[in-house]
Amino acid sequence: MAEIRRSGTWGSALTADEFTAIKSTGFEPVGQVLGAAVYNLGYTGGYGCPAYGMIGMSRMGMTGFMGPYTTQTSTSGGGEFGSYAPLVRTMYEARRRAISRMTAECTELGGQGVVGVRLSIGSFAAGGLEFKAIGTAVRAPGAVKLREPFTSDLSGQDFAKLILAGWVPVGLVLGISVGARHDDWITVNQTRWGSGNVEVQGYTDLVNDTRHDARQQLQRDVTRHGAEGVVVQRMEMRVGEHECPAQEARRDHVVEATIIGTAITHFGRGRAREAPPPLAIMSLDPQRRQAARVRLGP
């Protein structure tokens, strides 16, 4: 970072349109910044069946086996038995560590914030997962020095719109949740070939509960940053399943919901737009132009 500062040049991850948009708000890039962390995911939780310990009802089957009648969704935020809370805590920790290393580079370059942040997860060749955050550090000459650089995944154009409207980014916020649900007899019956066109209530609950938990985690992150609200750039959901470890011929379904956005706060009124000039209208009809000259005089 010291070598980059002494070089008198700067790098960026901006397009030409993003660069000009940022410059229009009084900010200028000071360099490309990066933060990374490689984690080995060992214990993830979720090894036990999410149904056991939260069975709503039981019934006596034909063979006398006491099995689950209806099950509930186990979410990482709820911390129920069989949840993936340890995995989600690691995903938060890894992303935040990558972001903190990126902002440390921003500080060393004399930047006041990072725009256009891209968060990514990829496999590492030696094993584990690499969590990476890359963006462009920016500063506004003459502006008040911030206690901590802001981070934002907004594009340069969106960042400029935000500033001109009187809002400023505070930091990247995350909402992550992993939900799991065991197949119960209702779900099995509703997904059979002969069941017809019906809603699978168990799957609906799994998706809704997991997304709701992710939104709650996002809201807590916004509050932690002391911001007023959040603008969301990415909402992702992945669905998978695996054999139930506690019951033969049954499956546990898993949904991972991730929300990434920028927490923002209001700092003043946006720049007022100037009234457009009057529009001149000229007729192309020669007779009308002649009549207008007669009325107006030489």
pLDDT, mean of residues 170-181: 92
pLDDT band per the 50, 70, 90 thresholds, residue 298: low
Q: What percentage of the chain exceeds 70 in pLDDT?
A: 80
| Burial label, 161 (beta-carbon count in 10 A; 0-12, 13-18, 19+) | middle
Q: First-to-last CA distance in the chain?
A: 70
Q: Running DSSP on this structure, what letter comes out for residue 185?
A: H
Where does the chain have alpha helices with state H? 2-7, 16-23, 85-108, 156-164, 185-190, 201-224, 286-296
pLDDT given at position 293: 66
Nearest to 205 by CA among 43, 91, 87, 56: 56
Which residues, at least 6 apart from 291, have a Cβ–Cβ distance to it below 8 Å?
A: none
User: Is 57 a residue whose pLDDT tops 60?
Assistant: no
Q: Which residue in the block uniquely carries the two structure tokens 């000459």?
A: 141
Say which amino acid occupies 154.
Answer: L
Residue 33 in contact with residue 114, Cβ under 8 Å?
Answer: yes
For position 84, what pLDDT does the model report?
A: 85
pTM: 0.76
pLDDT of residue 77: 87
Cα–Cα distance measured from residue 156 to residue 18, given in angstroms and rounded to the nearest whole number:
4
Q: Give, in order, the Cα–Cα distances in Å from 126 to each of 38, 39, 59, 119, 123.
A: 10, 11, 49, 21, 9
Cα dihedral sign for 227, 231, 236, 237?
positive
Can you tell me the mean pLDDT for 204-211? 93
Mean pLDDT of 133-159: 90
pLDDT (tens digit per residue) in 65-116:
444 456 778 888 887 666 788 889 999 999 999 999 999 999 999 899 999 9
Which amino acid, residue 12?
A: S
Confidence of residue 4 (pLDDT cuts 50, 70, 90): confident
Which position has the higher pLDDT, 104 or 10?
Answer: 104
d(CA 204, CA 261): 25
Closest CA relative to residue 106, chosen from 143, 159, 146, 162: 146
- Structure confidence at residue 48 (pLDDT): 66
Q: Domain residues of the chain, as ranges?
A: 2-296
Q: How far apart are CA 1 and CA 31, in angstroms?
A: 9
Please tell me the predicted confidence (pLDDT) of residue 68.
47
Residue 261, pLDDT above cutoff 70: yes
The residue that leads in pLDDT, 271 or 239, is 239
pLDDT-derived band of residue 47, with 50, 70 and 90 as boundaries? low
| Phi, psi (rounded to 5 degrees) for 37 | -150, 135
Q: Which residue has the higher pLDDT, 279 or 119?
A: 119
Angle of helix 16-23 versus helix 156-164 axis, rounded to 10? 20
Integer Cα distance of 43 and 263 in angstroms: 31
Share of the chain above pLDDT 90, in %: 47
pLDDT of residue 253: 87
